[in-house]
Amino acid sequence: MDYIRLKDIIVYGYYGVAGPEQQVGQRLLMDLDLAVDLSEAAASDHLADTVSYEEVYVAAQQLAGGARCQLLEHLAAAVIEGLLHRFPRVERVTVSLRKMNLPFPNTCREVEVVLERGREA
């Protein structure tokens, strides 16, 4: 399988259970892996034969930026569903969301949630 990967996309929204997370908001880092057959694009060298990573980036920002949700799992699922709906060539999507500012005393650099989903048969 071929992949298009977008790494370290910064999104800002209201993610978390704690009150300040919902009031002030925070940045997350998002990675996207899109499984897609790229053989036609590799042969033709035409943008029309692939998935535009610029369009994927814009869609991901629209789906995750400014969102309000308690769980990263919920946000990741919404991003996957939106990308699969908007890009019919994409067969599977993996979303990684990393939260750097945790609302409790800790020594973690970040917490990461990873979801992978494909099209229903």
Quick one: pLDDT band at residue 121, thresholds 50, 70, 90? low
Q: What is the mean pLDDT of the chain?
A: 93
* pLDDT, tens digit (0-9, with 9 covering 90-100), for 21-73: 788 888 999 999 999 999 999 999 999 999 999 999 999 999 998 888 999 99
Q: What is the pTM (predicted TM-score) of this model?
A: 0.92
pLDDT of residue 116: 98
What is the CATH code of the structural domain delimited by 3-118? Answer: 3.30.1130.10
Phi-psi region of 102 (alpha: psi -120 to 50; beta: other; left: phi over 0): beta
* Cβ–Cβ < 8 Å for 42, 78: no
Is 7 known to be catalytic? no
112 pLDDT more than 70: yes
Each domain of the chain, given as residue ranges in start order, spans 3-118
Selected catalytic residue, list 10, 99, 115, 116? 99
